[in-house]
Amino acid sequence: MPESKINRIAIYVSAFIIIILILFALLRDNADAITLNQAKEFLKSHSVQKVVATKKYVYIKTKNGYYKIPSSQVSPNMFVDYKVEVDNESNILIYLLLLVLFLGLGSLVFRMWQKKSLNEIFSSNRLKSNSAAAPNSMVNTQIEAIKSDVSFDDIGGISDVKVELEEIIDFMKNPKRYKNFGARMPKGVLLVGPPGVGKTMIAKAVAHEAGVPFYYQSGASFVQIYVGMGAKRVHELFAAAKKNAPSIIFIDEIDAVGKKRDGNRNDEREATLNQLLTEMDGFEGSSGVIVVAATNKIDVLDSALLRAGRFDRRIFVELPTKREREAVLLKYLQNVPHDLDVKIVANMTVGFNGAALAALVNEAALLALRQNDFHVTLEHFEQVKDKVIFGKKKLQMLNERQKAFRATYQAGKVVVATYYDIAFEKLMLSNEKLTPATDEPFIKQELESRVKMFLAGIAACDIKYNEHASSAKDDLDEAKELVEKMCREYGMGSSLLPDEKEQKLLLKRLYEECNVLLESLLGVLKKVEDVLLERESITKTEVKEYLDEVL
């Protein structure tokens, strides 16, 4: 605050204090009350110097003091020897001081109101100017916690994820239990899954169940055109969370700021990522702050972000299975009058995520209202299904024939992966990849097994249908890429310096071996297909049981 402004405020305050003190001194009745006998004694002794009469009291001034006696106790005859002054209690000085005080306060209030109005005008003009000069800049706002009203009961079909997160919730509620045992919770939890599966809702549900503040930020909000702004916002976010610990920080679409550093210069993004890494290293597991992040592109994240001590717990949120879709549909249909079998709707929505199912229910309800129907029926869902499909890109919606091809394709992959003991837990009919990409070192036999897994879906479809679908492109590309690395980079071909035909020969040999293996396991392949068509998911343990029966 400028010194002149401080001096001006001090003068105003001092003036008001002086006026109030003067008014207090003038209005204060400091006369001592006396009895009628005491008043008569003063009059007899002729020690009275002045007599003042008011409506309530008669004031007597003597050499020794100032006294008062109620007017009702005295009579005019007592003061016949004295000149009595009559006070009508209208001291002009008092009124003047009160007027000055009133005007001063009014002037101060007016100046404050005028200054506030001018500040609002200047702020508005400055905001418009900044908006015109830097439309992409972020307005500096205080980071505040969001009160989450989403519970796990509001989300259907996430039983597996809920089990994973119950430990986090218990830690937020009872941190001393873990601290006394010498255990610490992970600093970061990474939710990985395709768009629309409810990653943000899951994070909000965790905050709601734990009863702690929830700080939401998107990864894109950290990416600024001005150097240093993204890093500053990361620091402010973590500072607010630590101040209100225990709390949860949720960073949505973290891949926007946490991409791999590939050497191409992007000072602002790298500075923001470095700040995020520093902040996650800067608080202990006992601080009560847990970072939850969501992404659908884990393969593009920087390895420093994924190492232990940062995001050291990963939870994969997949597209819902048939049973999970039933649970999700029941949630969305709670307040919608309907007359339908939810199982039929779940069966016709293979590949739908939670957001697509919500849109489907809403579109069906709107259609029923437009047609003035009292209930939503299966016909309404069938009429709006195409509308939801074409409005939702990148969602794989399957008809019956496509579903059969997908079941055979996925069955071939899961049987070969289990046969060669490739690490995975569960395969779903809607999965694009059975296992995530990894940079771990492998021996030649392990790499060949992975190539066979990528080719197994194509081989299974060729065996059963003598053709395969275009969805095999991604697996085929990975198989080609891995074979190329084996020959050109790892020296795993017939020689350390392979010729041009080496890759084709290796790919052809591995496909033929995969084809022979699946032909010998047609019974297992059929059982796995049936399970996928019925449940749309199967675990590695189940496939291993089928293999043990024939091997």
- In DSSP notation, 152-202 reads GGGS-S-HHHHHHHHHHHHHHH-HHHHHHTT----SEEEEE--TTS-HHHH
pLDDT band at 118 (very low <50, low <70, confident <90, very high): low
Q: Contact at 8 Å (CB) between 337 and 211?
A: no
Question: Average of pLDDT values for 515-539?
Answer: 91
pLDDT of 173 > 90? The answer is no
For the chain, the average pLDDT equals: 77
6-10, 57-61, 308-312: which range is least confident on average?
Answer: 6-10
**What is the pLDDT at residue 262?**
66
**Alpha-carbon 228 to chain mean position:** 23
Question: Average of pLDDT values for 141-153?
Answer: 70
**What is the pLDDT at residue 526?**
94
**What is the pLDDT at residue 184?**
74
**What is the pLDDT at residue 397?**
63
pLDDT of 520 > 70? The answer is yes
Task: Give 477-503 pLDDT, tens digit per residue.
Answer: 999 999 988 888 888 877 777 777 888
pLDDT of 153 > 90? The answer is no
Better pLDDT: 115 or 484: 484
Where are the strands (E) in 322-454, listed by range?
A: 426-428
**What is the pLDDT at residue 34?**
80
What are the structural domains of the chain? 152-316 (3.40.50.300), 322-391 (1.10.8.60), 400-550 (1.20.58.760)
Q: Contact at 8 Å (CB) between 249 and 238?
A: yes
pLDDT of 452 > 50? The answer is yes
pLDDT of 516 > 80? The answer is yes
From CA 228, how far away is CA 209, in angstroms rounded? 35
**What is the pLDDT at residue 95?**
63
If phi > 0 it is left, if psi is from -120 to 50 it is alpha, else beta; for residue 428 that is: beta
pLDDT of 390 > 60? The answer is no
pLDDT band at 263 (very low <50, low <70, confident <90, very high): low
Task: Give 19-32 pLDDT, tens digit per residue.
Answer: 676 666 655 566 77
Q: Which residues, in sequence order, are CB contacts of 158 under 8 Å at separation 6+?
A: 152, 198, 202, 317, 324
Question: Average of pLDDT values for 290-300?
Answer: 84
Nearest to 32 by CA among 63, 71, 61: 61
Task: Give 205-248 pLDDT, tens digit per residue.
Answer: 888 888 888 888 877 666 654 455 777 888 888 888 888 878 88
90-94, 170-174, 468-472: which range is least confident on average?
Answer: 90-94
Task: Give 351-370 pLDDT, tens digit per residue.
Answer: 788 888 888 889 889 988 88
Which range scores top for mean pLDDT: 208-212, 247-251, 295-299, 518-522?
518-522
pLDDT of 453 > 50? The answer is yes
Better pLDDT: 538 or 89: 538
Token pair listed for 281: 């290293």
Q: Which residues, in sequence order, are CB contacts of 296 under 8 Å at separation 6+?
A: 192, 193, 194, 195, 255
